[in-house]
Structure 1
């Protein structure tokens, strides 16, 4: 009996450790905006300078190769997301961002997902098709000049901009953008855009 206990004891301890590690990892992967999350304004990191997003005039490009900058989105509440196809949390997040655009996108709101991949735009289009991303426009920053100007240090990184370009907050890492209180918070920002009716 003692021999059995001696051999199985470490195995039991190892099993408990592995289970604990798996649970902790799952909690981290779930991100901060889960079902029991506090209000989004408590989770968004306040920007250093809310009056100006550094790099707002730095160009990135759309699917046709035309230059685009944040100035082109003035008048809209913007969810500016930096991502890449090789980034697992980014890949996991993209369908949620796509649904966010489907629900709220319009004259006063847009999700601007900017890929930092260096590959061809055709590869990004293939990624969208493979993952059923139907509502997001394709944008790319292959040299990461825009990402660096903004101050991105990891992926995914998201900036929330008000209609006048004010940075309302930032978030680094995966987030579930379908959290109901977050959607209500976005709707309140959209309703505050001058001259645009909330749909």
Structure 2
């Protein structure tokens, strides 16, 4: 099967997710800067969610640069990743509407991040399975690729710590993005050596 349809579909879905998130931002009721300032938490969670989606898209793009083959399991793994990602607009809107006033929105947001990271990990594993030893992804990520597991473990810890103060879940998950902001160096090096 062609990997290009998976990439194109993923690009389209992520673009729609980001569009939906920005459409959730409503203009202030009043015309003063104080009215705009009152929406600061909505803008902040939107920025965090936008950055999260950008990091996912960037890493997905780099991952598929070293992929030769996809199969049905890869398609379903990618679909699971897109499902989890599609929950970000809802989670973002809920956190923005109830910033620091309720426990559930922040914990739900952390659960969405965990679900997306688990789905991304499953996608990587399915790609490694279908692209056998001679393929680039096996050479680049076949051994010692722990970033997805570190992210998932960090998400679980963030959810547990969030039981003390729910916003810590989002703060820690945002810090975990630092693992992913710079794409995998081994993929970059492989692409440069081709």
Q: Judge same fold: TM > 0.5, yes or no.
A: no
TM-score category of the 2 structures, normalised to the smaller one: under 0.3
> Which is richer in helix?
2
Q: State the structure with bigger RCO (CA 8 A, min sep 6), 1 or 2.
A: 1
> Which is richer in strand?
1
TM-score, normalised to structure 2's length?
Answer: 0.25
